[in-house]
Amino acid sequence: MKRLMLGNEAVARGLYEAGCRVVSSYPGTPSTEITEYAAKYADIYCEWAPNEKVAMEVSFGASLAGKRSFCAMKHVGLNVAADPLFTLSYTGINAGMVIGVADDPGMHSSQNEQDSRHYAIGAKVPMLEPSDSKEALEFTKIAFDLSEEYDTPVLLRMCTRISHSQSIVTLSEKTNSETKPFYKNIRKYVMVPGNARLRRPIVEERTARLIEYAETSPLNRMEMGNAFLGIIAAGTAYQYAKEVFGKEASYLKLGMVNPLPEKLIREFAEKVDRLIVIEELDPIIETHCRLLGLSVEGKTLFPMIGEFSQNLISEKLGRETKAGKTLEDEIPVRPPVMCAGCPHRGIFYILSKLKLNVLGDIGCYALGAAVPLNAMHTCICMGSSISSLHGFNIALGRESEKNTVAVIGDSTFLHTGVNSLINIGYNGSNSTVIILDNSITGMTGHQQNPATGYNIKGDPAGKVDLEALCRACGINRVRVVDPYDLEECEAVVREELDADEPSVIIARRPCVLLKHVTHGPPVFVKKEACRSCKICMRLGCPAIHLENGKAAIDETLCAGCEVCISLCPFDAIQADKEGV
């Protein structure tokens, strides 16, 4: 049966068909939908873990117990989970264990552009890379077989264009994977130095066997066309190359990107006149070819940065590129904005008004850094706001304690922020942390988290009490505010900055896009009362704009949060249309 499927959905289907039983993940664009689709299969247990390290360890536990398991994450999530990964390479697994990691060339939704193939090389584990949804499904199943045959976790590398493109897949029946018995095996699973030293050579032997496998595996294939040009490529780069050259070139299409074959590459190189590697991000296949002593072109032609496309490949190889018409007018950019009615807006308005230093974190609220709020001054990685605030305040003392805060979302706080708060409680910097609790993981498209009280299926689940958790970390001053109430927010932020001990402010209001959140009626501007002071424009609300110098509200966008009403010094914005 053929169906059109998103790459991520195809991975989920592959999990089902491979008889995977346990999936634990943390959401992260572009990997999120793998786990959401997997959760639709009744025979797969799925969960959102608080972070990727937890997810990978849960997945390992399930594998150890004898069930095929999986965890998914975005590329930067693998940084968090790198710790178990590097040692799981030594211990190996029991039932098959596959780790989905989704890179984001072009940084559509990420803070960096790292190439996760480095992790496969570093941890010495095999990595497969599909080039469309069909392969995403097939490779997922093959990954489980390889995992069991070679006793190793297997990485499945996705990227934005594979994860978020739909193409046609062929569905098969589910294979029933058997539960493997768990035997205690201290030498294999207890990685104290003495045992780890024994496992270390096994990793190298395994890699040697995997290279042998790569030489003849159906994952890697030659497609001979015109031998004038030989292209080695994997993933999307292969598709772009095929689009441009079709049968006018020959291809070595790699489905396994670690370890790379040697004989197969040499054989291909001998068959073609000119050998080039087309790969996005880092020159990993190219470097491998050079180590084999081959004459090859790669990054001298193609950029290290960003996504490729058919035009880019045409241009770099001296082919004619297509171009369309452009208007003479300057087209204003349309950056993403905080939604109308977003509960983060009120807090950021106050932080902006008080001209504070704001150490930020990963989530929708990174939009607080955009004009006109300009109220976030760092965004590094999950949880870093709180730890950096501690360091900032230790470095500057009273000078910064009174004008510097950290902002972090509920999901991000539970991901890795809580460790940083423990550090503040323990080492006692007089820091003020604001948890923006919108009661969901927002940016990735509304996933539940340990503070929402619901699990991935939407069923009631354990609920972390954020106030109690903060107190347990040693923070005595824990305040809760409504971010729609600007007056309260300002007063509490001032008080907590003034306090002589660390504090946490929880700004709590659910994301305005959640289905259960009811919107107020749109508000209205009383034109004659508007004095064009433009204070309301400082909110950066997409529903507010100027018409002939006076404020106007787009009622199709307005969510009725009424934050602008409380801000207007002339009572020109009103909730009641009758008064207009």
Token representation of residue 548: 């002939």
Residue 476 CB, nearest approach to another protein (Å) = 36
Q: Which of 82, 67, 91 is nearest to 15 (CA)?
A: 67
Return the residue of 338, 379, 382, 512 that touches another protein, per CB under 8 A: 338
Contact call for residue 318 and another protein (CB under 8 A): no
DSSP designation for 378 = B
Nearer to another protein among residue 121 and residue 224 (C-beta): 224
Q: Which of residues 93-122 bind another protein (CB under 8 A)?
A: 108-109
Asked if residue 134 binds another protein (CB under 8 A), the reply is: no
Sign of the dihedral defined by the CA atoms of residues 225, 282, 7, 265, in that order = positive
| Segment contacting another protein by CB under 8 A, of 50-58, 269-277, 369-377, 382-390 | 369-377
Kindly tell me which residue out of 335, 460, 462, 569 binds another protein, with binding defined by CB under 8 A.
335
Nearer to another protein (CB atom), residue 88 or residue 563: 563
CA–CA dist 81, 73 (Å, integer): 9
Of 15-23, 53-61, 272-280, 317-325, which part binds another protein (CB under 8 A)?
Answer: 317-325
Q: Which is nearer to another protein, 107 or 208 (CB)?
A: 107
| Pick 241 or 418: Cβ nearer another protein | 241
**Among residues 193, 371, 500, 518, the one that binds another protein under rule CB under 8 A:** 371
97, β-bridge pairs: 69
Say whether the peptide bond before residue 372 is cis (omega within 30 degrees of 0): yes
Q: For residue 569, give the nearest of 541, 538, 540 by alpha carbon.
A: 538
What one-character-per-residue DSSP string does 413-465 give? IIIIIHHHHHHHHHH----EEEEEE-SSBTTTT-B--TTTTB-TTS-B-----
412 binds another protein (CB under 8 A): no
Q: Is 311 in the site for another protein (CB under 8 A)?
A: yes
Helix (H) or strand (E) holding 57: helix 52-64
Residue 512 burial (CB count, 10 A) = 21
Shortest separation between residue 132's beta carbon and another protein, angstroms: 8
Q: For another protein, which is the closer residue by CB, 164 or 180? A: 164
Choice between 480 and 514, CB closer to another protein: 514
Pairwise CA distance, residues 561 & 345, whole Å:
10
Q: How far is CA 196 from the centre of its chain?
A: 32
Sites for another protein among residues 444-463 (CB under 8 A): 444-445
For residue 342, give the amino acid letter.
C
Q: What is the DSSP letter of 181?
A: P
Looking at the Cβ atoms of 21 and 344, the one nearer to another protein is 344
First to last CA, the chain: 60
Q: Which stretch binds another protein (CB under 8 A): 55-63, 161-169, 196-204, 291-299?
A: 161-169
Among 118, 121, 165, 353, binds another protein (CB under 8 A): 165
Q: Is 334 in the site for another protein (CB under 8 A)?
A: yes
Task: Write phi, then psi, for 387 (nearest 5 degrees).
Answer: -65, -40
List Cβ<8 Å contacts ≥24 apart for 424-427.
424/386, 424/389, 424/390, 424/473, 424/474, 424/475, 424/502, 425/473, 425/474, 425/475, 425/502, 426/474, 427/390, 427/394
Q: For the CB of residue 359, give the shortest distance to another protein in the complex, in Å.
A: 20
Q: Which is nearer to another protein, 278 or 389 (CB)?
A: 278
259: cis peptide before it, omega within 30°? yes
Residue from 347, 364, 418, 497 binding another protein (CB under 8 A): 364
Instruction: Kindly indicate which of the ranges 176-184, 211-219, 223-231, 439-447 contains the residues binding another protein, using the contact rule CB under 8 A.
Output: 439-447
- Which CB sits closer to another protein, 366 or 504? 366
Rounded CA-CA distance 376/452 in Å is 25
Q: Is 476 in the site for another protein (CB under 8 A)?
A: no
Question: Considering only CA atoms, which of 234, 236, 309 is closest in space to residue 277?
Answer: 234
Query: Quick one: 192 or 333, whose CB is closer to another protein?
Result: 333
Show contacts with another protein in window 174-233 (CB under 8 A): none
Angstrom distance (rounded) from CA 476 to CA 70: 40
Q: Which x/- pattern over 539-558 shows residues binding another protein (rule: CB under 8 A)?
A: -x-x-xxx---------x--
Helix (H) or strand (E) holding 100, with range, is strand 97-103
Of 166-174, 247-255, 462-470, 478-486, which part binds another protein (CB under 8 A)? Answer: 166-174
Closest to another protein by CB, 303 vs 372, is: 372
339 binds another protein (CB under 8 A): yes
Q: Which residues contact 352 (CB under 8 A, 6 or more apart)?
A: 373, 374, 375, 538
**What is the nearest approach in angstroms of another protein to the Cβ of residue 309?**
5
Residue of the chain from 303, 372, 428, 458 that contacts another protein (CB under 8 A): 372
Residue ranges in contact with another protein by CB under 8 A: 2-4, 6, 29-30, 32-33, 108-109, 132, 161-162, 164-168, 236, 239-240, 242-243, 309-311, 321-339, 364, 367, 370-372, 443-445, 537, 540, 542, 544-546, 556
